[in-house]
Amino acid sequence: MPSDTHRHDHAEIAQTSGGSCCGSAGTCGDIVPTTPGPAGGRSFQVSGLDCAEEVAILNKVVGPKIGGAEHLAFDVINGRMTILDSAKSVSDGEIAELVASTGMTAKPWDAENASVDQAAHLARQRLYTALSGGFWAAGFLWHIIETGMGGALGLFAGHGEAPMPRVEAGLFAVAILFGVWLVAPKAWSSARRLSPDMNLLMVVAVAGAIGLGEFFEAATVAFFFSLSLYLESWSVGRARNAVSALLDLAPPTARVIREDGSEADVPAAQVAVGSSFIVRGGDRIPLDGEVTDGAGAVDQAPITGESALVPKERGDEVYAGTINGEGTLTVRATKAASDTVLAKIIRMVGDAHARRAPVEQWVAKFARIYTPIVMALAIAIALLPPLIFG
């Protein structure tokens, strides 16, 4: 089975240590299989590794401890970080502590439980978002019951001098608590690293609204930010499921023809280049190769998009993941399982999640300047007028 774990452009990623990405790890839909990590390294399941921003943070925090970010590899789709054998010796416990300092969590990779952990994290995120939204709606409905529809519209302009009823404030307070529950650790980590990001901005905004007594505004910000994180995780889960579907295209074994003419089912990842294997009608082709005997018609739609069956005969090329519609083919493997067209597609999907588009790089650079300036101005506006004017 090909690996979708990839090495990324560290020069590009290392430029970004703060920014706008603030998602949390999760999976969406069905529990999906994961692919093996790169040979020669220790892999960790990282809860919170969801996009290039988290990759940049881990490069900045973990990289220096192991001799440089070039000794790290990431599989964003499956939330996996791999420390290559070329890195300095650091214990699993130290790695877990370093990752925990970023607001994420890490534990040794366990392929059997990785998908379960991802599903559990998303379920927890969905629960907190639903509870935040539920208590927000309850507080809003309570206000309508107390003041009527006219008062509900006035709620968006603030309570003014009138104190908010305790029941209403309590409902909004619970909505705030659930809304920031998963964000607060990352915000605290951002503050400790003196690298303000969107998580910290949101928590500061919520705290500021609470300080002004505007519980409705604070609850609204907390709920919608939590909802945005859940939707981001959901979209990553869609990508994870798409990768799972790609992995399922190629069968795990190939019927290899041995030197004595006998046939044996061998894991596709163990089939050597140059080996011959049999593909009967209706079977999926396990590896890229060249037809050496037989004739048939192959459905290449999963790879090339062609809707019609493509005739195949001696000398023609076939691809892993395609379906032999009819006839029996003898194929000589021309590529290893990790180098097939299908494997390259999977790696490209992973790269797309670990790399930034040019506009994202620009936004990240802008955010590194904009975010601390805005926070400094906010503090100055809050503190200087009383000090100057008394």
Average pLDDT over residues 107-131: 85
Q: Which residue has the tokens 């290893």?
A: 336
In DSSP terms, which residues pair with 326 in a beta bridge?
Answer: 297
Q: What does the alpha-carbon distance between residue 309 and residue 164 come to, in Å, rounded to a whole number?
A: 69
User: HSE of 269 in the Cβ direction (CA atoms, 13 Å)?
Assistant: 10
Longest dimension (CA), the chain: 96
Specify the pLDDT at position 160.
54
The pLDDT-based confidence of 390 (bands split at 50, 70, 90) is: low
Look at residues 41, 37, 39, 81 and name the one whose alpha carbon lies nearest to residue 63. 81
Q: Do 6 and 84 touch, CB atoms closer than 8 A? A: no
On whether the CB atoms of residues 285 and 323 are closer than 8 A, the answer is yes
Arithmetic mean of pLDDT, 95-111: 89
Helix/strand/coil for 28: coil
Structure confidence by residue, pLDDT tens digits, 218-255: 999 999 999 998 988 888 778 777 777 877 888 999 99
- Please list the residues that pair with 75 across neighbouring strands: 80
Question: Which is higher by pLDDT, 279 or 259?
Answer: 279
| pLDDT on residue 114 | 73
Type of residue found at 6: H
- 133 vs 77: CA distance, rounded Å: 28
Contact yes or no for 32/119 (Cβ under 8 A): no
Identify the DSSP state of 261: S
* Beta-carbon count within 10 A of 140 CB: 19
- Going from N- to C-terminal start, the domains of the chain cover 116-247, 252-339
Instruction: Identify the pLDDT of residue 15.
Output: 36
pLDDT > 90 fraction of the chain, expressed in percent and rounded: 36
pLDDT at 306: 82
| CATH fold of 252-339 | 2.70.150
pLDDT tens digits, 323-354: 998 889 999 999 999 899 988 888 887 776 66
pLDDT bucket at 2, cuts 50 / 70 / 90: very low
